[in-house]
Structure 1
Amino acid sequence: MRHFLLLLFALILSWSSFSQNKEQLSQLSFDALLDTIQKYQFSDIEKALDAAEAYTLKGKRENDKEKEWLGMQSSILVNVNFRKYKLANEQAENALEFVRSNKLPDLEMQVLLLLGDLHGIVTTVDQQLFYYNELLQLAEKKNDPSYREYALTRIARVHDISGDSQKALNLYKKSLEYFKHKPLDSLYTQIKKNSTLVILYSSMALAHLKLEHIDSAKLYNLEIKKFQEKELDSCYGVYAYLLEGEIAYEEEKFDEARENYEKAYSICPSEYDLMALNKAYALGKIEVGAKNYKRGIEILQSALDDYQVTAAEEGFMRDYYEKLAEAYKNTGNYEKASFYYEKYLVSKTEYTKLKEDAKESFLKRERANFKRDFDAVVSEKESSKSKLNYVLLGASIIVLILLFLLLKFYRNKRANEIKFRDLLAKIEAAPTPDEIIDTKDAVLEEKNTSDVPEGTKQQILSGLKKLEKQEYFLKQECNSYNVAKKIGTNTSYLSKVINSHYGKNFNTYINDLRINYTIIRLKNDVIFRSYSIQSIAEEVGYKSADSFTKYFKKDTGLNPSFYIKEIKNIA
C-alpha cells in the first residue's frame, strides 16, 4: 500500500513529463490508473486521456480484453466530459469493432448503449434508434432482460423527444414493473435497484410535466422521496429535490423552487461544466419567473460565457436562450434581447428538426417492419415473382395505409365535432341534468319486482332521489351495498327497483349520474376545466383516469380532453 501511494504521489508531482511516456505509465496498477482518470476526468483532459490510454495499453500487454475495453471506455467518457462528442463517437465505433472481433457480447451491449446515446448528439435520431434496436435484438438473443429494459427506456426517451410522451410513459411503466420485481443478486444489489427505480420514477414524472399532468408528477415525486432514507448510489438523492424544484417552478412557487434547486446541487457538487450550466439555468429561470430580471441575467449570462456552447449542443439550448431574451427585454436591453431571441429561434428550429427526425425515424421503422413482414408472407406464397414487384406492392400498400389513416383521422375529428354539437344540444334540451345521458341496458340483472312490496319500492325511489340531491354518487365508496344501507333496504331489492324503474343496472345508473354531473360542471366551471383528467376523475368518484375516460367516452362518444378543449373554444 505504501509503495502504491509513493508511486501515485510521484506521478502527480512529475505530471509535466507524464504524457511523454505512456509505456512507463502503464507499469502502474490498474487501480492507480483508474484513480488518476477519475481525479482528472473533468479538470484536465490530457492527464485523464493519458491515464486511460495507459490503462488500455496495460490491458493489451497483459492480454486482458476486458481491461483493454475499460481503458477504451474511459477515453470515450473523458472526451464526452470535455464535449468532444465526434471524437468520442469515433472511439465508440472502434470499440464496437473491438468487442465484436473478440466475441465479447456483454461488452458489446455496453458499447451499443453508449453509441446510441452519442448518436443522439452527433448524427441523427435514426442512427440513435439503430443502435438502441441493435442492443434490443442482442439482449433478446442473449436472454438478458436487464439490457432489454435499458434499450426500451432509451427508446422511450426518444419517444418523449418526438412529442409522444404518452408512449414514453407506457414503456417506462413496463420497465418499472420489471426492475421492481427483478431478484437481487451480486450485480443487481439493493442499492442498484433503488437507484434504478429513482431514475425511472424521475423520467415518468418529467414526462407527466411535459403533458402538464402536475398531479401525476407529484405522485411520482412522492415515490422518489420514499427512497431518500434508503441506500442509493451517490448523487441519486438529488432527483427528489430537482423534481420538487421543477413542480414548484411550474406552480410559480419561486422561493420553494429556488430552495429545492439549491439543495439538489449542493448534495452532489461536480466539476462537470454541463452541471454548472444546468444549475445556472434552473436558478436563472426562477429569477426570470419571479421578475428579478437583473439577477436572472447575472446567473444565466455568466454560466453561458464560461460554458461556450458547441454546435452540436445548439439544438438543446432553446429554453436557455428564451429566458435570457426575456430577461434582457424586461431590463430594456433590446440589443441583447434581440440577439438571444434570434439564437432561441435558431435553437428552436434545430430542436423542432430533432423532434421531426424522431417522429420520422419511428415511422420509417414501422414502415420497414411492415414491409419486412409483408415481403416474407408474399415470398412464401408467390416465390416466382420478382423482388421488385414485392417492393412496389409493399410501397403501394404502405401509401394506401397512410392515406387511410390520414382520412380516418380527419373523419374522426369531424365525427367528434358532430358528437360535441349533439351533446350541447342535449344539454340545452334536457329539463334536468340527469336526463342528458340516460343509458338503457339491454341485459338487466333483476328486472322482476313482483316480490318487492310497493311501499318498499317507493321508499327506495325516494331514497335514491335524496342521495342524488346530496350528490352521494360522487363519492368513491358509492356502491350498491352502501347505497342500500343508507336507504334502509337490501342490495337485491335495490337492484330490482333500479332495473325496473330506470331500465338500467346499478353501475350504469351511478355512471350516468357522474357523467351528467361532469358534463355540466365542465361546461360551467372554468377552474374545474383546468384540472388534470386524473383529478377530475377523483372529483367525480372514479379511482383512476382510465375508468373515468372509458365511461365518459361510452356515454358521450368523446374523450374528456376533447370535450374540455371544445368547451374552452366556445366559452
Structure 2
Amino acid sequence: MKYYPTLTIVFLLIYSINTCSQTKDSINNLNFDELTNKYYEYKVTDSLKARKYAQAFFNKSIKEKDTINVINGKYYLCDLLRKDSTYFNYIDSIISRTKRKPNKMFPAYLYSLKGRYYLNRYYLNKSLKNYIIALKYTELYKNDSLKHIFKQKISILKYRNKNFTESKMINLDSYNFYKENPHFINPREYYTLLSNISSNYLKEKKYDSAIFFNKESSKYALKNNFLFFIPYSIYRKGQIELDQKKYSLAISRFKEAIPGIIDEENYYILSESYNYISKAYTSLGNNDEALKYNLLIDSLYSKTKIIQKSQRNAYLYLINHYKEKKDLKKQLNYIEKFLKIDSILNSREKNLSKTFSEKYDKKRLIAEKEKIIYELKNDISTFQKSKNYFLVILFIVIILFLYQYNKRKIQKKSFDKIITDLKNKKTTILNEGENKIESSNISKEIINDILSKLHSFEKNKGFTNSDITLSKLAKELNTNSNYLSKIINQNKGVNFSTYVNKLRINYILLLLEENEVIRKYTIAAIANEVGFKNAESFSKAFFKETKLKPSFYIKELENQKVT
C-alpha cells in the first residue's frame, strides 16, 4: 500500500508528458488558417494559449520558408505582447533587404502592412504615405492584383478626407477590373470593396445602389463562409436605414451587429456604431439612451486609448448635456477631453474637414473652459454672472444688427442699380461683345449670318425654351455646335450656358418690372416662365447676375411700385 502514492505520481507524470506531446503534435498538424482562428479565439480570454498558437504559426512559416506568414506570425506575437516597435523594426529590416532587389511582391506588400497598421489606428497621413510607396512598387513591377488592393485602401483614405467622388471612382474602377479579371480577386478584399461601394452610394443618397452592393457583399461573405464579415453588412444596413430616417430599424441593426464587431476587436466601427445609435435615439427624443451610448464611446476610449472621429460628436453631446444639468466639473472634464482628441485628430489629418470643430467652436470652448475654472475657484455671484451674460448677448445682438444693416444696404444699392440699368436699356436683352466679329477659321459672312440669327433668337425669346441646348440651337440656325460656340464666346463674351442664362435673367428682370401679375408667381413658376427647369437653378443664376435673391428683388420691386 505504501508504494501507491509513488506509482500515482509516476503515472500522472507519464500521462502529462503524453498529453503535452499529443497537444504539441495536434497544434503542429493545424494549417495557417486554423492556427489563425485559434489565435483569435484565445487572444482575449487566454493569452497563454493564444501565444502557443501564435508561436506555432511563426515556427511553421519559418519551417516552410513562407515570408508573408513569417511576418503575420511576428505580428501575432508582437500584438499579444503589445510590442508594436518590435514588429515595425522587423518589417523595416525586411524592407531594407528587399529594396535592393525588389520584385512583384516585395517591398510593396511590406509597405502596405505599415499602411494598414496606421489606417486601423487612424494615423491617416502615415497610412497614406506608406500606401503611396506600395502602389508605386506595384506599378513599377506590374502587380495588378496588389495594385487594386492598395488603391482600395487609398480610396478609404480619400473617403475619410471627404473626397467622396474620387473614392467612388477608384472603387468602381477596381470593381470593373475584377469583373474582367476575376482570377485577380482576393476574396476578403473583394468583400471590403463591395461594402465600400455601398458606402459611396450611401453618401450620395442613392439608396437603391447602396442596398444592392450591401446585399452583394453579404451574399459574397456567405458564399465564401466569411461569417465574421456578416456583422459589417448588418452595420452598413443600419447606416442606410439611419440615413433614411428609419431610426428604430437602424438601432436594431446596429445592436445586432455589435457583438460580432466586438469579437473582431474593430474599435473604430464599434465606436461609430455607438455614435449612430446615439444619433438615432436623439432623433427619436430618447435622450436617456442617447446619453448611454455617448458614455459608452467615452468608456471605449478610456479602455483602448484609440482616438477617432466619433469621439468628437460624443464629447460635444456630453458637454451640452452636463451644461444643461449645471454640472460644471463634468462639463469641464468633457471639454478637456474634446480639446485633447480634437487637437490630436487635427494634427494627424491636416486635410480633413473640421466640421465637428466648427459646430462647437474651439475658441469658444477654450474660453468657456477658463470661465468654468474661474467660477469653480471664485464662486462668482449670480448678479455678476447675469451681468456678464447680458453684456455678451448685447454684444452679439449689436454685431448681428450691424451685419444685417450693412447687408441690407448693399442689397438696396444692387437693386437700385438694376432698376436704373433697366430704365436705360429696356429694348436690349444682351449686347455685351456684339461688336466683336473676328473668329479664327470662320469667315465673316458665316459670323454675320449666325449673329443675325442669334439676334432673331433673342428677339423671339427662343431662350425661354427649357430644352434648348448648344446642339439644338446650332441645328435650328443651320450651323454646327463648334462654330456657334466660338461665335458666342468671341462675340457675346461668355460661353453658351452663361449666354442663355443672362438672356433669361435680363428678360425676367424686364417682365417683373413691367408685369404685376408675374410678380405674384411663385419662384418655381417664374423660373419655368423663362426656361429654367427648377427654382434652384433659377435662383443661382439670378443671384449670379444681380447679387440678389429673387424673393428680395420682387419684394423691393413691389414696395417701390406701392410708393
- The TM-score with structure 1 as length reference comes to 0.57
- Partner residue in 2 for 1:97: 93
Q: What amino acid sits opposite 1:144 in the alignment?
A: N
Q: Secondary structure at the match of 1:143?
A: coil
Tell me, yes or no, if the aligned pair for 1:49 and 1:75 is still in contact at 8 Å.
yes
Structural mapping, 1:174-185, within 5 Å: 174-182=170-178, 183-185=180-182
- The equivalent residue for 2:253 is 263
In the TM superposition, what are the counterparts of 1:168-247 in structure 2 within 5 Å?
A: 169-170=165-166, 172-182=168-178, 183-188=180-185, 193=190, 195-200=192-197, 202=199, 206=203, 217-219=204-206, 221-230=207-216, 231-233=219-221, 234-235=229-230, 237-238=233-234, 240-245=236-241, 247=243
What amino acid maps onto 1:202 in structure 2? S
Q: 2:138 corresponds to which residue?
A: 139
Question: 1:513 maps to what in 2?
Answer: 500
Q: Is 2:278 the counterpart of 1:292?
A: no
Tell me, in whole angstroms, the C-alpha distance in 2 between the residues paired with 1:132 and 1:501. 47
Contact 1:125 1:357 in 2 (8 A): no
TM-aligned CA distance change 1:107 to 1:484, over 3 Å: closer
Question: 5 Å matches for 1:47-126?
Answer: 47-75=49-77, 87-88=83-84, 90-98=86-94, 101=97, 106=105, 108-119=107-118
1:138 to partner: Cα distance: 1.6
Alpha-carbon shift at residue 57 of structure 1 (Å): 1.3
- Rate the CA distance shift 1:516–1:288 in 2: closer, same or farther, 3 A: farther
Q: Could you tell me whether the CA contact under 8 Å between 1:96 and 1:108 is conserved in 2?
A: no
Do residues 353 (structure 1) and 347 (structure 2) align? Answer: yes
C-alpha contact 1:427 1:436 (8 A) present in aligned 2? no
Deviation at 1:301, TM superposition (A): 1.8
CA drift at 1:115: 0.9
Distance in 1 (CA, whole Å) between partners of 2:548 and 2:110 is 47
CA distance in 2, matches of 1:428, 1:21: 97
Who is 2:28 aligned against? 27
- Cα 1:265–1:41 shift into 2, 3 Å: farther
Gaps of 5+ in 1: 1-13, 207-216, 360-419, 529-536, 543-547
Deviation at 1:55, TM superposition (A): 1.0
1:377-396 equivalences under 5 Å are none
Matches within 5 A, 1:539-554: 539=534
Q: What secondary structure is seen at the aligned counterpart in 2 of 1:300?
A: helix
Is 1:40 aligned with 2:59? no
Instruction: Give the superposition deviation at 1:203.
Output: 5.0
1:346 Cα deviation from its structure 2 partner: 1.9
- How many Å separate the matches in 1 of 2:487 and 2:317? 63
SS of equivalent to 1:226: helix
- Given residue 111 of structure 2, which amino acid in structure 1 is its aligned partner? L
Contact 2:429 2:458 in 1 (8 A): no
Distance (Å, rounded) in 2 between the aligned partners of 1:150 and 1:350: 29
Question: What is the CA-CA distance between 1:344 and the residue it aligns to?
Answer: 1.1
Residues 311 and 481 of structure 1: is their aligned pair in 2 closer, same or farther, counting only changes over 3 Å? closer
In the alignment, is residue 478 of structure 1 matched against residue 475 of structure 2? no
Aligned equivalents of 1:497 and 1:133: distance in 2? 45
Task: Assess, with a 3 A threshold, how the Cα gap between structure 1 residues 499 and 148 changes in structure 2: closer, same or farther.
Answer: closer
Structural mapping, 1:354-503, within 5 Å: 354-356=348-350, 427=418, 429-431=420-422, 435=429, 440=434, 442=437, 443=439, 446-447=446-447, 464-465=460-461, 471-473=464-466, 477-479=467-469, 491-492=477-478
For residues 413 and 187 of structure 2, what CA distance do their matches in structure 1 show? 56
How far did 1:191 drift?
8.8
Inter-CA distance 193–36: structure 2 relative to 1 (3 Å threshold): closer
> Using the alignment, how far apart are the partners of 1:439 and 1:225 within structure 2?
51
Conserved? CA contact 1:285–1:323, under 8 Å: no
Deviation at 1:52, TM superposition (A): 1.9
> Which amino acid is 2:173 matched to?
E
Distance in 2 (alpha carbons) for counterparts of 1:105 and 1:267: 38
Letter in structure 2 aligned against 1:118: Y
Cα distance in 1 between the residues matched to 2:97 and 2:484: 77
Query: Per the alignment, in what secondary structure is the counterpart of residue 29 of structure 1?
Result: coil
8 Å CA contact 1:328–1:334 kept in 2: the answer is yes
Name which of structure 1's ranges 36-45 and 46-55 shifts more when overlaid on structure 2.
Answer: 36-45
Secondary structure (helix, strand or coil) at the match of 2:307 reads helix
C-alpha distance after superposition, 1:262-291 (max 9, x if no partner) = 325535733245244332221113333554
1:508–1:433: structure 2 CA closer, same or farther, 3 Å change rule? farther
Q: Are residues 190 and 223 of structure 1, via their aligned partners in 2, closer, same or farther at CA, if it must alter by over 3 Å?
A: farther
Alignment partners' CA distance in 2, 1:19 and 1:518: 88
Distance 1:330 1:316 in 2: 22
Q: Distance in 2 between matches of 1:48 and 1:504?
A: 78
- Cα distance in structure 2, aligned partners of 1:307 and 1:187: 38
* Matched residue type, 2:499: D
Task: Give me the whole-angstrom Cα distance separating, in 1, the residues matched to 2:485 and 2:350.
Answer: 53
* Alignment partners' CA distance in 2, 1:296 and 1:284: 4
Q: Is the 8 A contact 2:298 2:314 kept in 1?
A: no
The structure, 1 or 2, with the larger RCO (C-alpha pairs under 8 Å, 6+ apart) is 1
Q: Percent identity?
A: 12
Match in the other structure for 1:5: none
8 Å CA contact retained: 1:518, 1:540: no
> Shift of residue 501 of structure 1?
12
TM-score by length of 2: 0.57
- How far apart are the structure 1 equivalents of 2:485 and 2:333? 69
**Secondary structure class of the residue paired with 2:213:** coil
On the 8 A contact 2:152/2:193 being kept in 1, the answer is no
Distance 1:423 1:180 in 2: 52
Name the count of aligned residue pairs: 427
SS of alignment partner, residue 70 of structure 2:
helix
Deviation for aligned residue 1:135: 0.9
For residues 158-177 of structure 1, the aligned pairs below 5 Å read 158=157, 165-166=162-163, 169-170=165-166, 172-177=168-173
